C-alpha cells in the first residue's frame, strides 16, 4: 500500500507523474517469469534491443475509476489484454496470458491506491501496460527476450470546465498503410503521426483526421481516437477499415447507442465527401472518453456539424452513459467492470 500523496486532484493534466510502484515481468527461454512490483522507474536494457532499433514493441491504455461508494474498478481490461495480444502477434512478440495482464493491472492499482483520484473530480488513474523486445541482437529479427511492464499515472479529466467541441483538419499524411500495422497498438504508428499532428496544431486545429491509405476518400480515425458520426435520423455511424485501431471506447459506445439509447448502429465506409449526412460527430478513446467535433477542415472548407461551441444532445447522452458506467453511477453491461479488491 502506497503512502499518502500530495496532489491537487482538480488540476491534473494528462502528463507523467512518477507513482510508487510498477509491475515488471520478463520473458526468456520461452516463458514469462512470475513478475513483481518494483519502485525504480528506470529500465536497464541492451543498447541492441529491437524495441530501440526496429520498433518491436506495443502498448495499451486503460483507467481505474473510484466510485461514489469508494470501490475501485477497471473498465473492460479483458479487451485491452486481447488487443495487446493481437498487437504482439503482429510484431512477433510473445503473448501475455489474459489473467496475467489483468492481475498485473490490479497489482499496480492496489499498490498505488493513494494515487487514485477521489470520486467527483473526474480524474482517474491511467494504466499504461507495454511490451518491448530486449537483449543483444543486431539483425532484423524478433528479440531474444521481452519485458512486459505496467505503470500508472493519475490523470485529469480531458475537459476542464466541461465538454467543448474542437475542430480537426484532414491530414496530408497517412498514419498506416492498407495492410500494415494500423490495427495494432504499436509505437511506430505514433512516430509517423507526430509531424502530421504538429502541422495540424500549427494551423490552429486540435489534431488531424486520417483518410484511408488506399484511396484517400474515406475517414479512418483521429491520431489517437476513433471517429463516429450521428446521422440526421439518429443512426450511430463509425468507419470500418482494416487499418483503424479498434478502439474499445468505440465498441462500447456502439453497444451503448444500441442497447441504452435504442439507436441504430453501423460500422461502414464514411466518405469524406458526405460529411453533411451527420448532424453530430465525435472522437472517442480512453483518454478523451468523447471529444465532440465542432468542424472538420477539408480542402480549405470548414464543415461544421452541430456547433463549434456547443455539444449536440446525442453526443451528450452517449458521454453521460459511458462516463456513468465507468464511474459506477450507471449499471454496466455484464462483464464490463472488474472490481479491484
CB 225, min distance to ligand PLP, A: 5
Closer residue to ligand PLP, CB minimum distance, 111 or 155: 155
Using the rule CB under 6 A, is 283 a contact of ligand PLP? no
Do 176 and 182 meet the contact criterion of CB atoms below 8 Å apart?
yes
Angstrom CA distances, 58 to 31, 81, 181, 189, 322, stand at 18, 12, 11, 10, 26
**Residue of 51, 72, 84, 225 interacting with ligand PLP (CB under 6 A):** 225
Angstrom CA distances, 202 to 116, 207, 211, stand at 35, 10, 20
CB 263, min distance to ligand PLP, A: 19
Closer residue to ligand PLP, CB minimum distance, 188 or 271: 188
**Residue of 133, 157, 213, 285 interacting with ligand PLP (CB under 6 A):** 285
Q: Which of residues 147-166 bind ligand PLP (CB under 6 A)?
A: none
Question: Which listed residue (3, 28, 160, 185) is catalytic?
Answer: 185
Using the rule CB under 6 A, is 212 a contact of ligand PLP? no
**Residue of 19, 50, 137, 286 interacting with ligand PLP (CB under 6 A):** 286
The rounded distance, in Å, linking the Cα atoms of 278 and 273 is: 11
Number of other residues whose CB lies within 10 A of the CB of residue 89: 13
Do 88 and 129 meet the contact criterion of CB atoms below 8 Å apart?
no
**Residue of 57, 73, 107, 247 interacting with ligand PLP (CB under 6 A):** 247
Residue 55 — φ and ψ, nearest 5°? Answer: 65, 30
Cell numbers linked to 130: 507495454
Using the rule CB under 6 A, is 61 a contact of ligand PLP? yes
Contact segment (CB under 6 A) with ligand PLP among 18-26, 103-111, 228-236, 240-248 equals 240-248
**Residue of 20, 221, 280, 297 interacting with ligand PLP (CB under 6 A):** 221
CB neighbour class for 295 (10 Å; exposed up to 12, middle 13-18, buried from 19): buried
Using the rule CB under 6 A, is 249 a contact of ligand PLP? yes
Question: What number of chain residues touch ligand PLP (CB under 6 A)?
Answer: 13
Using the rule CB under 6 A, is 248 a contact of ligand PLP? yes
CA atoms within 13 A of residue 292's CA, in its CB half-sphere: 25
CB 288, min distance to ligand PLP, A: 9
The rounded distance, in Å, linking the Cα atoms of 131 and 147 is: 6
Using the rule CB under 6 A, is 185 a contact of ligand PLP? yes
Cell numbers linked to 189: 504508428
**Residue of 116, 123, 245, 281 interacting with ligand PLP (CB under 6 A):** 245
| Contacts (Cβ under 8 Å, ≥6 apart) of 166 | 205, 206, 207, 291, 292, 293, 294
203 flagged as catalytic: no
The rounded distance, in Å, linking the Cα atoms of 204 and 140 is: 40
Closer residue to ligand PLP, CB minimum distance, 169 or 226: 226
**Residue of 226, 241, 315, 321 interacting with ligand PLP (CB under 6 A):** 226
Contact segment (CB under 6 A) with ligand PLP among 2-10, 30-38, 63-71, 222-230 equals 222-230
Label residues 150-161 b or e (16+ Cβ within 10 Å = b): bbbbbbbbbbee
Contact segment (CB under 6 A) with ligand PLP among 48-56, 160-168, 245-253, 290-298 equals 245-253
Angle at the Cα of 103 from the Cα atoms of 99 and 109, rounded to 5 degrees: 150
Chain residues binding ligand PLP by CB under 6 A are: 61, 185, 221, 224-226, 245, 247-250, 285-286
Instruction: Catalogue the active-site residues.
Output: 185
Amino acid at each position: 500500500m502506497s503512502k499518502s500523496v500530495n496532489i491537487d486532484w482538480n488540476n491534473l493534466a494528462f502528463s507523467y507523474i512518477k507513482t510508487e510502484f510498477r509491475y515488471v515481468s520478463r520473458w526468456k527461454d520461452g516463458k514469462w517469469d512470475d513478475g513483481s512490483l518494483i519502485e525504480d522507474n528506470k529500465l536497464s536494457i541492451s543498447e541492441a534491443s529491437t524495441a530501440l532499433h526496429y520498433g518491436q514493441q506495443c502498448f495499451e491504455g486503460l483507467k481505474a475509476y473510484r466510485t461514489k461508494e469508494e470501490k475501485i474498478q477497471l473498465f473492460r481490461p479483458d479487451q485491452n489484454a486481447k488487443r495487446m495480444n493481437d498487437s504482439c502477434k503482429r510484431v512477433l512478440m510473445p503473448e501475455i496470458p489474459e489473467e496475467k495482464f489483468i492481475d498485473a493491472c490490479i497489482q499496480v492499482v492496489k499498490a498505488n491506491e493513494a494515487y487514485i483520484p477521489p470520486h467527483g473530480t473526474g480524474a482517474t488513474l491511467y494504466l499504461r501496460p507495454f511490451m518491448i523486445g530486449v537483449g543483444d541482437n543486431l539483425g532484423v529479427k524478433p528479440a531474444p527476450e521481452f519485458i512486459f511492464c505496467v505503470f500508472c499515472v493519475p490523470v485529469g479529466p480531458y475537459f476542464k470546465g466541461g465538454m467543448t467541441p474542437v475542430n480537426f483538419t484532414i491530414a496530408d499524411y497517412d498514419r498506416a498503410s492498407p495492410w500494415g500495422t494500423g490495427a495494432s497498438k504499436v509505437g511506430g504508428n505514433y512516430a509517423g503521426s507526430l509531424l502530421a499532428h504538429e502541422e495540424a496544431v500549427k494551423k490552429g486545429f486540435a489534431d488531424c483526421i486520417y483518410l484511408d491509405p488506399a484511396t484517400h476518400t474515406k475517414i479512418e480515425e483521429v491520431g489517437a481516437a476513433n471517429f463516429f458520426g450521428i446521422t440526421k435520423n439518429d443512426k450511430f455511424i463509425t468507419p470500418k477499415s482494416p487499418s483503424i485501431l479498434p478502439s474499445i471506447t468505440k465498441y462500447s459506445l456502439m453497444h451503448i447507442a444500441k442497447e441504452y439509447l435504442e439507436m441504430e448502429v453501423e460500422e461502414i465506409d464514411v466518405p469524406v465527401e458526405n460529411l453533411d449526412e451527420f448532424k453530430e460527430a465525435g472522437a472517442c478513446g480512453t483518454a478523451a472518453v468523447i471529444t465532440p467535433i465542432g468542424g472538420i477542415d477539408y480542402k480549405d472548407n470548414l464543415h461544421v456539424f452541430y456547433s463549434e461551441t456547443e455539444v449536440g444532445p446525442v453526443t451528450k447522452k452517449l458521454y453521460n452513459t459511458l462516463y456513468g458506467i465507468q464511474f459506477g453511477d450507471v449499471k454496466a453491461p455484464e462483464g464490463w467492470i472488474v472490481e479491484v479488491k
